[in-house]
Amino acid sequence: MLPSVFRTLVPLLAGWIIVALTGLGFSVDSGSVRTAVAFAVAAAYYLLFRFVERAVEKLGGPAWLKGAAGALLGYARPPQYTSTDDVAELIRQSRR
């Protein structure tokens, strides 16, 4: 479960840092606008590096690029889940 936590929090933190450092041209002092922009940037950040990770995997690109994209998401490898319809098994998998 720790990899999925890292891969959720690192993009959120990266989005907040990018917005805080660049300002992204906003002069509005509204905290809610800044928060919304930070979450949008975090979503774009996650999607970009997840896309790179998947593209390298599917197209057979260099392993270092896949690892770098994963590391920029907070954990070098995506979490692995086993497909199941058993709810109890899904709960057990989520606690690993």
13, pLDDT greater than 80:
yes
Question: How far is Cα 19 from Cα 84, in angstroms, rounded to an integer?
Answer: 39
Tally the C-alpha atoms within 13 A of residue 28's C-alpha that lie toward its C-beta: 11
pTM, to two decimals: 0.59
* C-alpha to C-alpha distance for 59 and 76, rounded to whole angstroms: 18
Percent of the chain with pLDDT over 70: 82
Tokens of 42: 């975090």
At 27, which helix (H) or strand (E)? none
